[in-house]
Amino acid sequence: MKISENKVVVLHYAVSDSEDTLIDSSYDHSPLSIIHGTGYLIPGLEDALTDHVVDDKFEIAVSAENAYGDRHDEFVQTVPKSMFESVEDLAVGSQLRATTDDGEQTVIVIDVTDDEITVDGNHPLAGIDLKFDVEILEVRDATEDELKHGHVHDEGDCGHNHD
């Protein structure tokens, strides 16, 4: 069965940057299970999966544009530290939820001084070309429940209530 829209795809992946530095891998833990065509994956990877079958192993290069997008300097902002008085352990690398004109967004603290903090709203992989090594383990039709809920139900149960 070929990978196409609304198929459950179970895969292993390893993702590296253009310098071949490993960023993440599912080989050390459970494979990734997704419903193809739902936008769960970055566009470049999801497009590359189409028409592959079980046991296919391949490498795909995904440009930053088709991954997490380009970096935007305007997403880096320095704000008064007083805006985060309720945050206890404010340190470089902390991830915070910030309210923006576009809704809630995760930002990463990149600098802390006595009076200010600098946060970066870019995805950590924005602006980075990626390389994926992929192995297709399973392809099947998604069940009605999986399509309704928008995610894969492993072993017939997704582990939470949809009421």
pLDDT at 82: 87
- The domain limits of the chain are 7-68+126-156, 73-120
Separation of alpha carbons 90 and 162, rounded Å? 35
Encoded tokens for 101: 């004109």
Q: What is the pLDDT of residues 99-113, one digit of tens each?
A: 777 788 889 999 999
pLDDT at 90: 85
The second-level CATH assignment, the architecture, of 73-120 is: Beta Barrel (2.40)
The second-level CATH assignment, the architecture, of 7-68+126-156 is: Roll (3.10)
Q: What is the pLDDT of residues 62-99, one digit of tens each?
A: 999 999 999 999 999 999 988 888 888 889 999 988 87
Q: How many CB atoms lie within 10 A of CB 156?
A: 7
Is 73-120 the same fold as 7-68+126-156? no
Q: How confident is the model at residue 156 (pLDDT cuts 50, 70, 90)?
A: very low
Least confident of 114-118, 132-136, 153-157: 153-157
Whether residue 34 is predicted with pLDDT greater than 80 in this model: the reply is yes
Q: What is the pLDDT of residues 123-139, one digit of tens each?
A: 999 999 999 999 999 99
Separation of alpha carbons 137 and 57, rounded Å? 9
